[in-house]
Amino acid sequence: MTDLTRLTAAELAAKIHAREVTSAEVTRAHLDRIAEADGRVHAFLHVDTEGALAAAREVDAGLEAGHAPASPLAGVPLALKDVLTTEGIPTTCGSKTLENWLPPYDSTVTRRLREAGIVILGKTNMDEFAMGSSTENSAYGPTRNPWDHERIPGGSGGGSSASLAAFEAPLAIGTDTGGSIRQPGAVTGTVGVKPTYGGVSRYGLVAFSSSLDQAGPCARTVTDAALLHEVIGGHDPLDSTSIDAPVPPVVAAAREGARGDLSGVRVGVVQEFAGEGYQPGVLRSFQAAVEQLRELGAEVVEVSCPNFAYALPAYYLIAPSECSSNLARFDAMRYGLRVADDGEHGAEEVMSLSREAGFGAEVKRRIMLGTYALSSGYYDAYYGSAQKVRTLITRDFTAAFERVDVLVSPTTPTTAFKIGERVDDPLAMYLADLCTIPANLAGNPAMSVPSGLSDEDGLPVGLQIMAPTLADDRLYRVGAAYEVARDAAAGGSLVHQVPELEAAK
């Protein structure tokens, strides 16, 4: 029998729905793979073996009874980032503060996954409260990149990207505030999409920065990501910022793109995302990808987005400001870690000491930054100015999309760096999100798709594709066309070259 863990989600779904294999068998194969590989990779914080098998058996029973599958992905397993609430299943956000917290409710994404018959294998590791680009800020230890265990798998969603690259799951959910889906996708050779802000409900997504956070699909192929996107997307009355419009036709777009023709598509190369700070091998991979797009028939032009240069500093005012308020609720009064409640300390001291003990250094750094930026007398200079930059970036996008259909850039300036290399240098760490942040600030959708290996270190590189708001389908058309062409030229899917598969033998 073929190794079920090597198949795409679409292939698995086809086999399950054709009753060639049961969802329980597929789920069991992935649970076995997790048991075998996760000691090395540490992608998961919690594996819900019983829950996953029960969900799989339910799908099988439905198919057995002759019911149509609940969705095109019914029966396929998935790894869920530990920032989305799951009723009765621990949700820690990678923080000591929420160790042992059992949410009393499912996030809307969780609910939609369950309703679609998708089997949730467990919860994946992440930088604490999604703050970081390496998953080293998890209170539960780092996740290792399946391409090189000495290196980071990206962040904050390093657990989700690593679970895909380690073939522990064919699908995963990430959340992207400044690049936390796309950058991990790039450094692990997987696909990650940040949908249009408001395209996927944030209800039950534990907030880091409310105006930037967006959940999205992670997969090993563009088509799988599209199938997952359609499951989780769509209006949710429980999220006031959710867009009341149909989900863009992303699956159809991926199928169209896979035919390999991009004639008439105008692609803009963002001039500002090159040069100093960019690893030469990353830029060479990017140039090759642009060349490939041209060969597919796309018209490629250079586009300048001058205000993108201010995106990173603006982001590091807006995101910490919102986080300082969002994380205020972790005060030990109702849930979460509580220390010093010994009758000697008052409520305010218990709050303060619990927060001291429960939050890691990066979270505290951002709470302090944000508290300062919002302070009376500083608000206009910091938060106010950052909001103006946000408007300027949106204008850059608007102007660019008058000329081109999509914009492209490298997803991240370098390949996966070594674990520990940037932990003492927050600014170097923040640069990992240089190219991904503009789309968060403007709210438009963006994707990272593997563009091969960097020639100097043999590590994966990601091509970022950005589209206008609500034109998520364009990402999938261009991404799928590029993926097919690249794989054909390279003789196969990049992620199948991951050394972790060899390690298993």
Nearer to another protein, 34 or 317 (CB): 317
Nearer to another protein, 321 or 451 (CB): 321
Q: Report how far residue 362's alpha carbon sits from residue 341's, in angstroms, rounded to the nearest whole number.
A: 25
Q: Report how far residue 165's alpha carbon sits from residue 501's, in angstroms, rounded to the nearest whole number.
A: 9
Determine whether 156 is an active site residue: yes
> Where are any strands of DSSP class E within 354-405?
none
Q: Is the peptide bond before 352 cis (omega within 30 degrees of 0)?
A: no
Nearer to another protein, 109 or 293 (CB): 109
Q: Are 180 and 157 in contact, with CB atoms under 8 Å apart?
A: yes
Give CA separation, 231 vs 198, 247, 378, 468, in Å. Answer: 15, 9, 43, 21
Determine whether 15 is an active site residue: no
* 386 is a contact residue toward another protein (CB under 8 A): no
The pair of structure tokens assigned to 476 is: 């999938």
Hey, which residues does 409 pair with through a beta bridge? 464
Q: How far is the CB of 360 from another protein (least distance, A)?
A: 16
Q: Report how far residue 195's alpha carbon sits from residue 468's, in angstroms, rounded to the nearest whole number.
A: 10
Of the candidate residues 56, 84, 164, 449, the single one contacting another protein (CB under 8 A): 84
* 278 is a contact residue toward another protein (CB under 8 A): no
| One character per residue 333-372, x = contact with another protein (rule: CB under 8 A) | xxx----------xxx--x-------------------x-
* 226 is a contact residue toward another protein (CB under 8 A): no
Binding segment for another protein (CB under 8 A), chosen from 176-184, 317-325, 456-464, 471-479, is: 317-325
Q: How far is the CB of 336 from another protein (least distance, A)?
A: 8
Give the three-class secondary structure for 185.
helix
Q: Angle at which helices 222-232 and 250-257 pack, to 10 degrees? A: 170
Of the candidate residues 98, 435, 459, 470, the single one contacting another protein (CB under 8 A): 98
Single out the residue of 204, 151, 160, 205 nearest to residue 181, CA to CA.
160
Q: Report how far residue 56's alpha carbon sits from residue 54's, in angstroms, rounded to the nearest whole number.
A: 5
Nearer to another protein, 92 or 292 (CB): 92
Q: How far is the CB of 84 from another protein (least distance, A)?
A: 7
| One character per residue 231-250, x = contact with another protein (rule: CB under 8 A) | ------xxxxx---------
CB atoms within 10 A of CB 61: 13
The site for another protein (CB under 8 A) is made up of 84-85, 91, 93, 98, 101, 103-105, 107, 202-207, 209-211, 237-241, 321-322, 324-325, 328-331, 333-335, 346-348, 351, 371, 374-376, 379, 383
Positions marked catalytic: 81, 156, 180
